[in-house]
Amino acid sequence: MAFSALGLSESLVRAIKEQNYTQPYPIQQAAIPAFLQGKDIIGIAQTGSGKTASFALPILQLLQHKTARTGRRVKSLILVPTRELAVQIQGVFHEFGAKLPQKVKSLAVYGGVSINPQMMQMSGTDVLIATPGRLLDLVSQNAVQLSGVEILVLDEADKILSLGFKEEVDKILALLPEKRQNALFTATLGGDVEAFADKLLISPLKIQIEEEASVPELINQIAYQVDAAKKGPFLRYLLKESDMQQVLVFASSIRTADNIVGKLLKRGIQAAAFHGDKSQGARTDALTKFKAGKLRVLVATDLASRGIDIKFLPYVINYELPRSPKDYVHRIGRTGRAEASGQAISLISPEEAHHFKIIQKKMGRRVPMEPTDQLDLAGY
C-alpha cells in the first residue's frame, strides 16, 4: 500500500517521500484514513511502531482547512508525559509541515525551563504539544486558550497516568470543547488506562500493534555473562575492540550512570549522562551532540528509554537490566528502527541471570549468551 492511497494530500505525500518513508507502517495504514474521517482512535502500540506520523500526518492535513490565524487559541493539543517526547513530536510536525501550502505552526511546551519564551512563542500556534503541568501553568497565565481545540491526542497515555498526571489531565479536559476528535496512544491497556480511554473516546477505532511484532525483527540481541564488578572494564573493552560509535548505554540509577560516564571520560572516551538530575539544557545539549554523531556514548537512565527518536542508532547496551520486561523492549527499541539494523547488548551478572530469563520469556525471544571469563580485561 502507498501513502497516497490513505487519503493524504499531494503535498503531504511529497513531504513523506522526502523523509524516505516508502510505505506506511501498519499503524499508519489503519489510523490515517480513520483519523481523516474524524473518528476517535485508540492505538495500542509501542514507540518504534510509527505512531507519531499516524497522528501528525492527518492532523496536518485536517488543519489545512483551518480558517484565519488563531491567536492564542490552539486547534490541536497533544498531551505527552515528558519533555523529550514533546520536542520529538514537534520535530515530526515541523518536518512534515514545513512545506505545506497552509503553514501549520507547532510548538512544544514543557516544564523545567523558563515559561516566558514559551509564552512569547504561543501566538498563532495551531498544534500545541505539551506536558500537563506546564500546560496548566500557561493556561493560568492566560497565555493559551483551549476552547478552540478540535483535535486532542494523548500520547503514551499509560505513562502520563503512571507518572501521576491524572488530576492535571482531568483539569485540562474540562477546559476543552465537548465536540472534538480524540486519539489516545498507549503501550498497554493496564492500570487505569482502559477506564480512562472508555470515558474519553466515543466509539473509537481500536488499533493494536502486537508487542512481539514491535520487538523489531531488525534488532540483533546478544548478552554477555559478566560479574557486576567487571562490567566497567568489559564495557570499555567492547567500545574499544569493536570500535563502536554512537552507543546508548542504559544504567538503572543516576549514580551508576554518572559513574560510568566519569570512568569513560577518564580514559578519553567521549561520554555524557542523560538523566533526571541533569538540567534540561544539559540534556538537550547531550542529545543533540549524540544525534549528530559528535558524542560517542550517551549513558541514560530509563527516562530516555521511551519516546526519544534517534534514527539509525546502531548500538544499545544494557549495563544493567531494567526491572520490567516492557522497559527492556523500550530500551532496545532505540536501535534497529526505521529499517536500519541495530545491535542490543546486555551485560548480565550472575545475580541478574534469572531475571533475564523472565525477560526473554515475556518477549518470546531467546537471546544468545556468551561467557567473558576468559577475557583479559586488565588495562581497560
Instruction: Lay out the site mask for ligand AMP across 181-210 (x = CB under 6 A, - = otherwise).
Output: ------------------------------
Fill in the DSSP letter of residue 335. Answer: B
Closest to ligand AMP by CB, 62 or 89: 89
Candidate ranges 18-26, 33-41, 71-79, 285-293; the one touching ligand AMP (CB under 6 A): 18-26
In three-state secondary structure terms, 270 is coil
Least distance in Å: CB of 288 to ligand AMP? 16
Closest to ligand AMP by CB, 50 or 132: 50
User: Interaction with ligand AMP in 236-275: which residues (CB under 6 A)?
Assistant: none
Least distance in Å: CB of 29 to ligand AMP? 9
Instruction: Lay out the site mask for ligand AMP across 337-356 (x = CB under 6 A, - = otherwise).
Output: xxx-----------------
Question: What's the rounded Cα separation, in Å, for the pair 22 and 248?
Answer: 27
Amino acid at 218: L
Closest to ligand AMP by CB, 23 or 288: 23
Closest to ligand AMP by CB, 339 or 370: 339
Candidate ranges 45-53, 181-189, 199-207, 343-351; the one touching ligand AMP (CB under 6 A): 45-53
Residue 58 in contact with ligand AMP, rule: CB under 6 A: no
Least distance in Å: CB of 163 to ligand AMP? 19
Least distance in Å: CB of 312 to ligand AMP? 8
Closest to ligand AMP by CB, 28 or 70: 28
CB atoms within 10 A of CB 372: 18
In three-state secondary structure terms, 51 is helix
What is the 3-class SS of the chain, one letter each residue? CCHHHHCCCHHHHHHHHHCCCCCCCHHHHHHHHHHHCCCCEEEECCCCCCHHHHHHHHHHHHHHHCCCCCCCECCEEEECCCHHHHHHHHHHHHHHHCCCCCCCCEEEECCCCCHHHHHHHCCCCCEEEECHHHHHHHHHCCCCECCCCCEEEECCHHHHHHCCCHHHHHHHHHCCCCCCEEEEEECCCCCCHHHHHHHHCCCCEEEECCCCCCCCCCEEEEEEECCHHHHHHHHHHHHHHCCCCCEEEECCCHHHHHHHHHHHHHCCCCEEEECCCCCHHHHHHHHHHHHCCCCCEEEECHHHCCCCCCCCECEEEECCCCCCHHHHHHHHCCECCCCCCEEEEEEECHHHHHHHHHHHHHHCCCCCEEECCCCCCCCC
Residue 309 in contact with ligand AMP, rule: CB under 6 A: yes
Which phi and psi (to 5°) does residue 352 adopt?
-95, -5
How many residues form the binding site for ligand AMP (CB under 6 A)? Answer: 17
User: Interaction with ligand AMP in 310-329: which residues (CB under 6 A)?
Assistant: 311
In three-state secondary structure terms, 336 is coil
Residue 25 in contact with ligand AMP, rule: CB under 6 A: yes
Q: By CB under 6 A, name the one of 6, 8, 41, 49 that touches ligand AMP.
A: 49
Closest to ligand AMP by CB, 78 or 122: 78
Candidate ranges 50-58, 166-174, 199-207, 281-289; the one touching ligand AMP (CB under 6 A): 50-58
Candidate ranges 33-41, 49-57, 196-204, 219-227; the one touching ligand AMP (CB under 6 A): 49-57
Least distance in Å: CB of 94 to ligand AMP? 13
Candidate ranges 20-28, 249-257, 272-280, 372-380; the one touching ligand AMP (CB under 6 A): 20-28
Least distance in Å: CB of 245 to ligand AMP? 19
Q: By CB under 6 A, name the one of 47, 76, 221, 305 that touches ligand AMP.
A: 47
Fill in the DSSP letter of residue 195. Answer: H
Residues that bind ligand AMP (CB under 6 A): 21, 23-25, 28, 47-53, 309, 311, 337-339
